[in-house]
Structure 1
Amino acid sequence: MPATPTLTFLGAAGTVTGSKFHLEHGPASLLVEAGLYQGLAELRRRNWEPLPLDAAALDAVLLTHAHLDHCGYLPRLVADGFQREVVCSAETADLAAIVLRDSAHLQEEDARYANQAGFSKHRPALPLYGAAEVEKTLPLFRPTGFGSATQVAPGVHATLRPAGHILGSATVEIETGGRRVLFSGDLGRDDHPLLRAPAPPPAVDAIVVESTYGDRTHPPRDPDVLADVVRRTVARGGSVLVPAFAVDRTELVLLELHRLRVSGAIPRVPVYVDSPMALAALGVYRRAVQGSSPQLRREARELAAALAGLDLHGVADPEHSRDLNSPTYPCIVVSASGMATGGRVVHHLAHQLPDPRNSVVLTGYQAEGTRGRQLLEGARQVKMHGRYVPVHAEVVQLADLSVHADADGILAWLARAPEPPRTVYVVHGEARAAHALAARVHEELGWVAVVPQQGERVRLD
């Protein structure tokens, strides 16, 4: 039982996924984030390794938002004995239920398919968790409002503030023993098309900040990139496949397609959203627009127009999804997952990549070791379901659709703090990005900034 607050980095240290941070003070034990590792096989194997803590002794888990690399480990934590509250915003609770159910379904389906096809080296292939573990997890969620402190353990209080990344995303400030630490989660862009800019950081002793884009800046928005690839693909009779994160990215893709269609920049072709998770998330966003959520910009009302104005088709059942593996007419297919690590989009890629008439449009960050990263780096063949598929389709990246703050945006957000923290811990970025951001924090703000190691423990006094 540490007399001084301590923080241990159990994930997202030197890598861009798997966020987990263990905060201890006296008898209090908290986990901030419970994310899955994605990408490289050596990272994914960490999902199966037991955490160096007693899950049953945790007082609470706090989530910044509902993306899988921040909440996807929760059902495994529950299977290991966690039974207390999961504190997050109301929208994060709604979206996490969608994300976790989909995650369990995909894991069970992938394990079933691997055993049936015989391409897994595990005998039998097993999911990390299934639907039963998810249903035990969801009743633990405790939705919490923004801006007011809530007790999460004896003598420990947490305050959520909007982070502008996806609907419900938050920064999390924790106060214990007279010390305060702020977790950025994933920070959004000041010019997010739907969400308001992240709330500025308060005065704290330490900041744990993400660095996904810590070594680069986003290019200026250029709608011609998407318009051009759609026109080219339709002209040659192909289909446009857009791997997109089901939460937030799908909404932005549809919004951009609507704007291009209204302006006449692209022809009217069918648009399919082939992801039950994305369709469910669209419902959460639609309700937020209808309810005039204070997280949203006024322009967010255009999302409703986009959903009504496009030749839009939601695909929920597997049979109609299979029909989109090889479309016989020009169309646009938006399908999860965004980095092509799993889900229906993998089946679409397996069928569509060999055809040079088709295009694949990558819309966000592609982590090391993912199929999306391989395609982005020019791979001429990609392994899927135990066999290699040739890449003849056109591959295009839309870097300007990212909903992460870039290096300049993160620095600007940090600089809004009313006073310097003692230390900035740079996490949730590949090593090069994290070290580049830490260097800029030191050079431009004059603050102590470090990139912690996996498993490293620090004092917060």
Structure 2
Amino acid sequence: MRTTMFTLSSLGGASTVTGSKHLLTNNGKRILIDCGLFQGLKNLRDLNWAPLSVKPSSIDAVVLTHAHLDHSGYLPKLVRDGFRGKIFATEATRDVAELILKDSGYLQEKDAEYANRKGFSKHKPALPLYGVRDAERALERFSAVPFGKVVKLPGGASLLFRHAGHILGAATVDIEWGGKRIVFSGDLGRYGDPVMHDPEPVPGADYVVIESTYGDRTHEPSDPTELLGSVVERTVRRGGTVVIPAFAVGRAQSLLYHLWKLRSAGRLSKVPIYLDSPMAISATDLLHAHRDDHRLSPEECDAICGIATYTRDVEDSKEISASSYPKVVISASGMATGGRVLHHLKAFAPDQKNTILFSGYQAAGTRGRAMLQGAREIKIHGQWIPVLAELADLPALSAHADSNELMRWLSELRHAPARTFIVHGESDAAEALRVRIGRDLGWDATVPRQDQVFDL
């Protein structure tokens, strides 16, 4: 990659909603904002195995907007391949990343072991991208930064975190370097979310890098608690189980909140609720540890955390799959790409009395997207599983800002940036947001290509 005075390039998250990695280079110093795994389509997942376009050892620091796997999940490989700098993140992001990265390493080791044992991998032997020890080495490089405090980065840059909503610890990243200010939205949350704070306004920037997950659509204004209750109640009436693939951090806790609201209103009183994800259970405990990062009172935290039966043990998880009693099962992963939810899908998807409920974004190439697009079979652990269960999609439960909310956050800047870069969205969504920014705000907006270099 060529080096000029001050440049920006996206090593991931360009015209795709996964693998976010945005590189600032200034006088030979490099700062990487986010370091995510590619997920979904095979051609994207294959990029996780390909060398980066810059040597990891040449990167001086990493700054994380938040801990979701598509923003942090490549860190263990980056460290294993030679990165030796610090990883700057909020305190809650550091705690959440410990859960996510160790879990990712563990699952990759287990998936490789399972593939080798069952013989369904094309690779002989199947290998994990990284393991638990690699995740632990990455965690040793973290440096926690409070919200609202300016800290120095290598090369004379400075960093400021502001609340982004979305999940615990999520932040927008404000970097001042060489007299220029570059702001990264990370993943923005919803305004008026009952659990997370609103995205904090940014007063100004010379350049803005904004996500576009929902850049081409708006969320329906319906009450998500009521929508969730209707799905569960009609499924239970026909004797079925509701399986909810959920991101262990953020979505699982939001679902527990809405289920608690339903219980408080006298609904679902006899419906068992299971949180079947050790990582989601641990993430729910973090609500107590980081009270300033969300809206919930200590009493609400206790009530929400107490509404579900937690299952850490594998045998207990198997009993849930084996039971035909009507219930709600919340289990990771959120796009049905791995984790215990796959075993629940194998058990419940073939029966039309059950419901598979999606409550968040489903990336292209994932089982979740395939089911929502009408797939009547999905491949799990080398087997084709029929999908006869009802499929429900409740985007109103999403933790991602929609197009209107992204525009609201941008419009709070006091002056137009020199350029706005639109990332972390599929091509149609990113292009729709680019057009809208130009039309409504009159700003110069660009959708970067992978590894395209921009002079700042």
| TM-score (norm: length of structure 1) | 0.96
SS at match of 1:201: coil
Residue deviations 1:287-320 (CA, integer Å, cap 9, x gap): 223xxx1x32256852322223x2x211111111
Instruction: Tell me by how many angstroms 1:449 deviates.
Output: 0.4
What residue in structure 1 maps to residue 133 of structure 2? 132
- Rounded to whole Å, the distance in 1 between the matches of 2:126 and 2:337 is 17
State how far apart, in whole Å, the 2-side matches of 1:324 and 1:306 are: 21
Q: After TM superposition, list the pairs within 5 Å mapping 1:24-423 onto structure 2.
A: 24-222=25-223, 223-289=225-291, 293=292, 295-297=293-295, 301-308=299-306, 310=307, 312-423=308-419
Do the aligned partners of 1:356 and 1:392 also contact (CA within 8 Å) in 2?
yes
In structure 2, list runs of 5 or more residues that go unmatched: none
In 1, Cα distance between equivalents of 2:314 and 2:14: 37
TM-superposition CA deviations, 1:16-38 (whole Å, max 9, x none): 00000111101311111000011
Tell me the SS of whatever aligns to 2:353.
coil
- Say whether the 8 Å CA contact 1:29–1:57 is kept in structure 2: yes
Which runs of 5 or more structure 1 residues have no equivalent in the other structure? none
**Secondary structure at the counterpart of residue 23 of structure 2:** strand
Query: Which is worse superposed, 362-371 or 146-155?
Result: 146-155
The one-letter code matched in structure 2 to 1:239 is T
Name the SS for the 1:114 alignment partner. helix
Structure 1 counterpart of 2:11 = 10
1:73 CA drift (Å): 0.2
Structure 1 residue matching 2:153: 3-state secondary structure:
strand
Q: Which whole-Å CA distance do the structure 2 matches of 1:318 and 1:176 have between them?
A: 49
| In 2, Cα distance between equivalents of 1:285 and 1:379 | 36
Using the alignment, how far apart are the partners of 2:25 and 2:288 within structure 1? 39
Q: Which amino acid aligns with 1:224?
A: E
CA distance in 2, matches of 1:389, 1:9: 37
Counterpart amino acid of 1:32?
Answer: I
Distance 1:204 1:25, change over 3 A: same
- Amino acid of the residue matched to residue 324 of structure 1? I
Contact 1:195 1:300 in 2 (8 A): no
Is the 2:288–2:298 contact (alpha carbons within 8 Å) kept by the matching residues of 1?
no
- Matching residue within 422, 441, 456 for 2:452: 456
Could you tell me whether the CA contact under 8 Å between 2:284 and 2:305 is conserved in 1? no
Secondary structure of 2:374 counterpart: coil
CA contact (8 A) 2:191 2:199 kept: yes
Q: Name the CA shift for 1:3/1:45 in 2 (closer, same or farther; >3 Å).
A: closer
In structure 2, the CA distance between the partners of 1:25 and 1:320, relative to structure 1 (3 Å rule), is same
Matched letter for residue 459 of structure 1: D
Q: Give the SS at the match of 2:47.
A: helix
Distance in 1, matches of 2:259 and 2:90, equals 30
Amino acid in the other structure paired with 1:385? H
Q: What's the secondary structure of 2:235's corresponding residue?
A: helix
TM-score by length of 2: 0.97
Distance 1:112 1:302 in 2: 41
Q: 1:181 to 1:301 in 2, by over 3 A?
A: farther
Provide Cα deviations, 1:224-245, integer angstroms capped at 9, x if missing partner: 3221221122222221111100
- CA deviation profile, 1:203-235 (whole Å, cap 9, x unmatched): 211100000000000001333322122112222
Q: Is the 8 A contact 2:4 2:455 kept in 1?
A: no
Deviation at 1:286, TM superposition (A): 2.3
Aligned residue type for 1:231: E
How many angstroms apart in 2 are the aligned matches of 1:373 and 1:161? 32
Deviations 1:55-78 (A, max 9, x none): 112211000001000000000001
The one-letter code sitting in structure 2 at the alignment partner of 1:375 is M
Spell out, residue by residue over 1:103-160, the C-alpha distance to the aligned partner (whole angstroms, 9 max, x if none): 0111111111111111111111111000110111111100001122211103111111
1:70-117 deviation line (CA, Å, top 9, x unaligned):
000000001101121100100000000000011011111111111111
Most deviating of 159-168 and 324-333: 324-333
After superposition, the C-alpha distances for 1:409-432 in whole angstroms (9 at most, x for unaligned) are 000100000111000000000000
* Residue aligned with 1:53, SS: coil
For residue 3 of structure 1, report the CA deviation from its aligned partner: 5.3
After the TM superposition, list the runs of 4 or more consecutive aligned residues in structure 1 that deviate by more than 6 angstroms: none
Once the two structures are TM-superposed, the CA of residue 43 in structure 1 deviates from its matched residue by 0.5
Q: Hey, what does 1:431 align to over in structure 2? A: 427
> Is the contact between residue 17 and residue 36 of structure 1 (CA under 8 Å) also seen in structure 2?
yes
User: Is the 8 Å Cα contact of residues 231 and 267 (structure 1) preserved in structure 2?
Assistant: no
Structure 1 distance, partners of 2:42, 2:305, is: 38
Report the 3-state secondary structure (helix = DSSP H, G, I; strand = E; otherwise coil) of the residue aligned with 2:87. strand
Aligned identity (percent) is: 48
In structure 2, the CA distance between the partners of 1:299 and 1:216, relative to structure 1 (3 Å rule), is: farther
Say which SS state the counterpart of residue 140 (structure 2) adopts.
helix
d(CA) in 2 for partners of 1:121, 1:99 = 27
Q: Distance in 1 between matches of 2:228 and 2:322?
A: 21
What is the CA–CA distance in structure 2 between the aligned matches of 1:249 and 1:9, rounded to whole Å? 27
Tell me, yes or no, if the aligned pair for 1:4 and 1:177 is still in contact at 8 Å: no
CA RMSD of aligned residues (A): 1.3
Q: Secondary structure of 2:321's match?
A: coil
- Partner SS, residue 167 of structure 1: coil
Write the distance in 2 (CA, Å) between the matches of 1:154 and 1:224: 51
